[in-house]
Structure 1
Amino acid sequence: MGFKLHIGVLAFPFGTHAPPLLALVQRLAASAPDALFSFFNSATSNAALFNTSYDNIRPCDVWDGTPHGEAFTGSHFEAVGLFLKASPGNFDKVIQEAEHQSGLKICCLITDAFLWFACDMAEKRGVPWLPFWTAASCSLSSHLYTDQIVKAIQSTETAKQDKALSFIPGLEMVTTSDLPPEVFLDNSPSPLAITINKMVQQLPKSTAVVLNSFEEIDPIITKDLKSKFRHFLNVGPSILASPARAAPDDKTGCLSWLGSQNRPNSVVYISFGTVITPPENELAALAEALETCGFPFLWSLKEHAKKSLPTGFLERTNSLGKIVAWAPQQQVLAHENVGVFVTHCGWNSILESISSCVPLICRPFFGDQMLNSRMVQDSWKVGVRVKGGVFTKSETVESLRELMTTEKGEKMRENVGVLKDKAMAAVEPQGTSSKNFIKLLEIIRAPESR
């Protein structure tokens, strides 16, 4: 068909940034069939995302900054640095190709918020810039208040971890030790820290800041951030706004195994995302805790990490648990027999847990995960952080038993249910997220009325 609009979508191809951006674009594309969405992303990330074709979404591969013709063997963080160094030139080149191929100039840029340079690209083109923040509103707030946080630390002799953020609306229970390290620019900041710092400077120039969240989870933060941007649009959770219709992939037998467990809320599900594997001593401590507690468990664990498990653990727990290299997490959490989620506390995992009424045990590792875990435990009260910040056998046993067997754990499950109800209400036709999504569509369609 002939398209009337051409929307450029710029992804950040690391961690779990690109999938929620594509989920947003899928919703927009379904509501605007006369618009073409060009999805600019690394070839590796696009290959993982686009296992099906769309009428009006086209994947466009951009160079990821790694040496041509060589297999990249560096770390995750080195790859991020190379990608950011190659930007925005890598995007500019492919955008021009997409415009030539489609015969349509791009009339709006939707980008991962990390890609701050898109603000300049949009200004030069005279088009709206819509940065998509892939994390929670609490972490965005912490970055926006960087200057005030740094001044507060410098004005006191109190140790950094003891400084409460009582001056930031909605983050009164947070301390500086909970904050993403990128908030504190040291003498040799990482490429990501520099990127986030520049992002903070550019975001107020955007047409709208978009989040995969819902206003009701943090109403105080939402009110504050609405005062800082032209439009601040929570349009999620996408998992509830547009549930997956495809049949779940159960190639590792997780769902059938869960079905064989005959008691609701009885299974411990463990997964730390696609980037992190806990240290060997913590894997061993977690395994010992699972064996001691005797709860059925489903553990998504990379094959190479199994060597860190205690000798004989797999054999002794064969009838109790199941370990797989990959699990269909969304469907696993939605299963009635899952009772708790042991997680790194990434935002997508939190939303999936809330959407399935499953409380959390949090072991954060980097980025916004520490702050997320503070909110889980002390603001939303839907889970606990591992005491001391690392897995030990005794503390993990205590956390598992607290959530699985006590009234306190049952209260956390009730709190998750309340949050899910609020999230469901947000994506109803007259809900806040649905109204914000309509506003987002209006902004995207604005070029039609020029």
Structure 2
Amino acid sequence: MAHVLLFPFPAQGHVPPFLKLAELLSRAGLFITFVNTEHAHRRFLASSPTIDRLAGLQRFRFRTIPDGLGEEDPRLFVHFLRILESLRTRSREHYRELLAPEDGHDPDGWPPVTCVVGDGMLSLALEVAEEMDVPVMLLRTSSACSVWAYYSIPKLVETGDIPFPEKADMDELVQGVAGMESFLRRRDLPGLTRHAKSVADPTLKFLMTASENLARGRALIMNTAECLESPVLSHLSSICRVIYTVGPLQTLLQNFGSCRPDQDVSNSTAASNSASLWQEDRSCLKWLDSHPNKSVVYVSFGSVTVVSREALVEFWHGLVGSGRPFLWVIRPDMVEAGDETAPAELETAARERGCLVAWAPQEEVLAHPSVGCFLTHSGWNSTLESIVAGVPMICWPFFADQQVNSRFVGEVWKVGVDMKDLCGRSVVEGMVRKVMDGGEVGEELRKSAAEMSHMVRIAAEEGGSSYTNFQKLVDHIKSLSSQKYQGSSNK
């Protein structure tokens, strides 16, 4: 019997897509062990009912391992290298025990783990499984276009685009990412490359290692659709033996068949499989109900972005100046340390023009008819959710894959505008007006967004490419299980 262990990097942008894939595999009748760090699991338990619901399924269980960091450590994602090193050095044996209990007996009487789906950014998941001869597939939670850009870093070093030369022209086209030579600028390269001062930079080394690992997995799983990233996927196929595009996962989860009679799995809505490190404030949905169709600007910079108080004020004035009502997610830790106090006028005017929440049920917000625009940090989950909902975007990327995503949104898919590296109030106001008002640009963006939404939804329907690829993925996992048992019986 196939038993899949899923191991994501313990962060907001990584765990939710892993949970969606895990539930899909559970619906397909597989045993699922989902591994979280103890700290991340406690936070998700405190804020997300999804965790409790999934834990109650017949063949679905959570297991936790320590991450080796102190209780008071903030575990900021921008310090991900330190988190990864702690996991690599202090969690190895705990992970090994989950893959194969030392006494040889599973505490629940489950079959042995026959396949690992590991986070492509978490080398530990791959390395230990390989040591124990357990087949590994890798899930990358970012876009295919950003994964290809990461993979191209050695070429970019060779062409001199990385590290950035002193006083580099940020709008100069780069030639080291195959297929993107005509539109990818230096400022559109993955944000983590901006701070590298030499080729020995630890972040560059990590990114190159993670990219090299792509070819080591039995397959690469991606939360995207062929219709969305086909040209880039053709490049990735030159280095990965098998690629399964199964996105958008939230749409596939809504569409994927009926439950097996032996599985206690209810049909899930997008909302019920939302997972967050912060408690969602659902009162904002009622606030949205009071506004006309496509009248509200939804603003969220995700789970990692940190802004200065000055930038916050500029966004604020730009939004107010646009004349549009807005729903704005402002996390408790979003403003730079020591600069947390919000301007008094922001709080006052928000009651008149906007709605401020610490965290929102984003998939439901984007699907709400009153939302007409998404001012976003361009994280891949947010980008894909906006595409599914057919909501045009204003992109203000912070770091990592977000710079690449925002360029594709504005220049390739043409479902939004790219505002990277700018946040002056006049710029914000102008961008909102351009997207929300009834001019030619706004109409074209809405048309393109609706067409793209239709395409990716079709891909996740029965007979669509993502739906079919998921079935192939399940068959592949089952075949690995059969090979393992056949191998054991032949010994």
Question: Are residues 1:360 and 2:393 paired?
Answer: yes
SS at match of 1:240: helix
Aligned match of 1:206: 217
Which has the higher mean CA deviation after the structures are superposed, 164-173 or 333-342?
164-173
Alignment correspondent of 2:37: 42
* Separation of aligned partners in 2, 1:409 and 1:229: 39
Distance change in 2, residues 1:203/1:215 (3 Å): same
* Per-residue Cα deviation, 1:422-445 (whole angstroms, up to 9, x for no partner): 101111221111121112111211
* Amino acid across the alignment from 1:175: R
Q: Please tell me the residue identity of whatever aligns with 2:306.
A: T
CA separation of 1:167 and 1:193: change in aligned 2, threshold 3 A: closer
- Return the alpha-carbon distance in structure 2 between the equivalents of residues 74 and 44 of structure 1: 9
Structure 2 CA distance for partners of 1:238 and 1:223, relative to 1, 3 Å: same
Which secondary structure does the structure 2 equivalent of 1:87 belong to?
A: helix
Gaps of 5+ in 2: 46-50, 255-267, 273-278, 487-491
Q: Are positions 1:254 and 2:284 aligned together?
A: yes
Q: Within 5 Å, give how 1:18-37 maps onto structure 2.
A: 18-32=15-29, 35-37=30-32
2:78/2:304 contact within 8 Å kept: no
2:35 partner SS: strand
Partner of 1:380: 413
Match of 1:66 among 66, 69, 72: 69
AA aligned opposite 2:327:
L
Give the 3 Å change call, closer, same or farther, for CA 319–61 of structure 1 in structure 2.
same
By how many angstroms is 1:251 displaced? 4.3
Residues 247 and 136 of structure 1: is their aligned pair in 2 closer, same or farther, counting only changes over 3 Å?
Answer: closer
Question: For the residues of structure 2 that align with 1:171 and 1:60, how far apart are their CA atoms?
Answer: 44
Cα distance in 2, alignment partners of residues 31 and 219 from structure 1: 27
Q: Indicate how the Cα distance of structure 1 residues 98 and 229 shifts in structure 2: closer, same or farther if over 3 A, else same.
A: closer
Q: Secondary structure at the match of 1:195?
A: helix
Measured after TM superposition, the shift of residue 296 of structure 1 is 0.9
**Partner SS, residue 340 of structure 1:** strand
Residue 294 (structure 1) aligned with residue 294 (structure 2)? no
1:240 aligns with 2:251: yes
Letter in structure 1 aligned against 2:122: L
State the Cα deviation string for residues 55-84 of structure 1 (Å, max 9, x = none). Answer: 2221111111203xx422464434651343
Structure with greater contact order relative to length (CA < 8 Å, sep ≥ 6) = 2
1:148 partnered with 2:155: yes
Counterpart of 2:175 (choices 165, 182, 199) is 165
Shift of 1:51: 2.9
Q: Does residue 184 of structure 2 align to residue 174 of structure 1? A: yes
Over 3 Å counting, the alpha-carbon distance change for 1:169 and 1:20 in structure 2 is same
Q: Map residues 333-348 of structure 1 onto 2, 5 A cutoff.
A: 333-348=366-381
Secondary structure (helix, strand or coil) at the match of 1:26 reads helix
User: Separation in 2 of the partners of 1:98 and 1:127?
Assistant: 8
Please tell me the root mean square deviation across aligned C-alpha atoms, in Å.
Answer: 2.7
Describe the SS at the equivalent of 1:339: strand
**Inter-partner Cα distance in structure 2 for 1:63 and 1:260:** 45
Percent identical among aligned pairs is 29
1:403 maps to: 435
Judged with a 3 Å threshold, the aligned counterparts in structure 2 of structure 1 residues 391 and 308 are, in CA distance, closer, same or farther, namely: farther
Give the deviation of 1:199 after TM superposition: 1.7
Q: Is the counterpart of residue 17 in structure 1 residue 14 in structure 2?
A: yes
> What runs of 5+ residues in structure 1 fail to find an aligned partner?
none
Contact 1:65–1:83 (Cα < 8 Å) also in 2: no
Kept in 2: contact 1:269–1:338 (CA 8 A):
yes
Distance in 2 (alpha carbons) for counterparts of 1:436 and 1:245? 21
How many pairs align?
441
Give the conservation status (yes or no) of the 8 Å contact 1:60–1:94: no
C-alpha distance 444-337 of structure 1, shift in aligned 2 (>3 A): same
SS of the aligned residue for 1:110 comes to strand
Q: Map 1:271-350 onto structure 2 (within 5 A).
A: 271-303=300-332, 305=335, 309-350=342-383
Q: 2:470 and 2:239 mapped to 1: Cα distance?
A: 19
Distance 1:371 1:252, change over 3 A: same
Q: Which residue of 2 aligns with 1:218?
A: 229
Asked if the contact 2:391–2:446 (Cα under 8 Å) also holds between the matched residues in 1, the reply is yes
Query: Distance in 1 between the 2:462 and 2:89 partners?
Result: 38
Give the alignment partner of residue 5 of structure 1, picking from 2, 5, 14: 2
Q: Residues 423 and 57 from structure 1, CA distance in 2 versus in 1: closer, same or farther, beyond 3 angstroms?
A: same
Calculate the TM-score normalised by the size of structure 1. 0.90
Q: Confirm whether residue 448 of structure 1 aligns to residue 448 of structure 2.
A: no
Structure 1 residue 223, shift from structure 2 partner:
1.6
Return the match for 2:457 from 424, 436, 441: 424
Residue 261 of structure 2: aligned partner = none
With the length of structure 2 as denominator, give the TM-score of the two structures.
Answer: 0.83
- Return the alpha-carbon distance in structure 1 between the equivalents of residues 328 and 284 of structure 2: 10
Structure 1 position 154, deviation (Å): 6.7
Q: Which amino acid in 2 is paired with 1:245?
A: T
Could you tell me which amino acid in structure 1 is paired with residue 158 of structure 2? K
Is 1:126 aligned to residue 129 of structure 2? no
- CA 1:115–1:58: 2 relative to 1, 3 Å: same
For residue 140 of structure 1, report the CA deviation from its aligned partner: 0.6
Q: 1:328 & 1:215 partners in 2: Cα distance? A: 27
